Amino acid sequence: MDDKKIFRSFALPLVTFEYLKLFQRNYLSKYEVKINNNQALAILLKEHKNQKEGNEE
């Protein structure tokens, strides 16, 4: 896994930020692991990419 990091500041719509926080709470409940915003966003994007690649086959 490539562990290089890119740092950017950006704004999210409130509804999107609330979804991100809900994802974090659900992740904590399911795995008993607390993740930060960066980790949550990385997981969500990876899941989205995997779903998209699966739909293209």
pLDDT of residue 55: 81
Is the pLDDT at 57 greater than 60? The verdict is no
The pair of three-digit structure tokens given for residue 50, joined into one six-digit string: 């995997």
Instruction: Give the span between the Cα atoms of 49 and 39, in whole angstroms.
Output: 15
Residues 37/20, Cβ–Cβ less than 8 Å = yes
pLDDT of residue 2: 72
**What band does 3 get if pLDDT is binned at 50, 70 and 90?**
confident
What is the pTM assigned to this prediction?
A: 0.82
DSSP secondary structure letters along 16-43 = HHHHHHHHHHHHHHHHS----HHHHHHH
pLDDT in tens, 7-43: 999 999 999 999 999 999 999 999 999 999 999 999 9
Residues 35/22, Cβ–Cβ less than 8 Å = no
